[in-house]
Amino acid sequence: MVIVLAAGVGKRMRSATPKVLHEVLGRSLIGHVLASASHITADRSFVVVGAQADLVSAHIAQIAPHFKPVLQAEQNGTGHAVRLAMAEAPDFDGTVLVLCGDTPLIRAETIGELLQGHETDGAVATLLSGRVDIPDGLGRIIRTAKGEFSHIVEERDATAEQRRIVEINAGIYAFDAATLRRTLSALTTDNAQQEEYLTDVFGLLTAETAAVRVHPVARQEEVLGCNDRAELAELARRLRDRINRDLMRSGVTMKDPETVWIDVTVEVQPDAVIEPNVQLKGRTVVQAGAVIGPDTTLADVTVGEGASVVRTHGTGARIGAGASVGPYAALRPGTELGADGKIGTFVETKNAQIGTGSKVPHLSYVGDASIGEHTNIGAATVFVNYDGVNKSQTVIGNHARTGSDNMFVAPVEVGDGAYTGAGTVVRRNVPPGALSYSHAPQRIVEGWVASRRPGTAAADAASAALANTAGSAAPANTAGPATPEPEEGSESGDAD
């Protein structure tokens, strides 16, 4: 049986959010504990909830539905909480594992070692202990003159001498169920907090000369809990270092791991390179050979092999193998960039499928669009997808070349191999292989600056230039032909 204690108020967090629901690198505090505990085979699993029980129970149902919430309506202590959980399985006979809901660094391996040692030694109770530099607020392990376990004293009940002890109770235990059930009934509230302390069970068992064992933890950080925002940040830092260290040892390169924050739910494959100032969140996957950063935040993004993502914010996107994104790109949900494609500088995409080898190099918005393979979208292009009521789709085919400063007014289609000229507003479908352009005559009004902006720097510059241009003047109010041929190079933007 597994019992997780998560009923506390968490007053020192000073938060409207229950303490155990505060997040650390992709999971709530209790989510980390439940993830580690889920590796243990257990007949019954419970979480004791109390403060804001509805919120905590709903969260548990979402992330670990096999854990049953048990309500502790009045927080009368950890012993009382465990007694309520034990009442849910009155016939259980075996080992009971008790965990705290605010110790996110505890590893499944450590829990397994605790249980194995408990059962191998034939103990009726085994507790996990650790040594910390600053034990303030934590229960101390009291040993006899021979160094054997005596009992646990909570800090509020400790003497000044006992408070100098640095071996602390981690709040993680293994019990024989029958022994635990019997001793819980003997607990009293004769202490500073007038609560039933679960830790008093160990003193009762020692008085009976029962087999009580202490299992020191190998990694001291695993026993650290969380009481306030400063401790939450410290836990996050330690977990960050653990994640990054494990990834680097698996073959991931990090130039400055102290500036890289990666959720526990993220997958990064060997030979990926993570540059400084990168955050990878949620279900992000970075495949082998990809380079991420610097200055990049990705949430729920899949990055293909050998792709490059620089100074980019992305959410809910897929980036193909060998593709290039950024700098200063924004990938919104539904973005799919094909292999060897490009989303360039100051480009925003949303619900856009961009095919293999296609490029949106710079200064564009691509929303609600499907772009075929090996197509180039010119600079400063806008996909006009919203008419104030409905959003519509734009479809651009394979091997198309669209000009700079285009607007595609959806719904509209541009066929395979089609071209559009610079400055074109595309309102009608363009057939495959066709050229579409919008053209208005260019007009020139000679002397406009001198007459309308006299005395300005522009007027002075124009006057000087005209003085140096002997006899050169273009006809006033010149207009181009009604149906001109587009100038060479006007039909598409920079393809690089």
Domains and CATH numbers, the chain: 2-223 (3.90.550.10), 254-436 (2.160.10.10), 443-478 (no CATH)
Predicted confidence at residue 441, as pLDDT, reads 86
Predicted confidence at residue 471, as pLDDT, reads 54
Predicted confidence at residue 485, as pLDDT, reads 47
| Catalytic center residues | 362
| CA–CA gap between residue 245 and residue 233 (Å, rounded) | 18
Instruction: Give the number of other CB atoms < 10 A from CB of residue 271.
Output: 14
Residue ranges in 402-476 assigned as alpha helix (H)? 448-452, 457-467
Predicted confidence at residue 488, as pLDDT, reads 42
Predicted confidence at residue 480, as pLDDT, reads 44
Rounded (5°) CA angle 440-441-442: 115
CA distances from 358 to 275, 368, 477 (A): 26, 16, 41
CA distances from 261 to 218, 254, 300, 417, 452 (A): 25, 11, 14, 44, 58
Predicted confidence at residue 258, as pLDDT, reads 98
Angle between helices 29-37 and 53-63 (to 10 degrees): 40
Predicted confidence at residue 382, as pLDDT, reads 98
- pLDDT under 50: residue ranges of the chain: 473-492
Structure pTM? 0.88
| CA–CA gap between residue 313 and residue 277 (Å, rounded) | 12
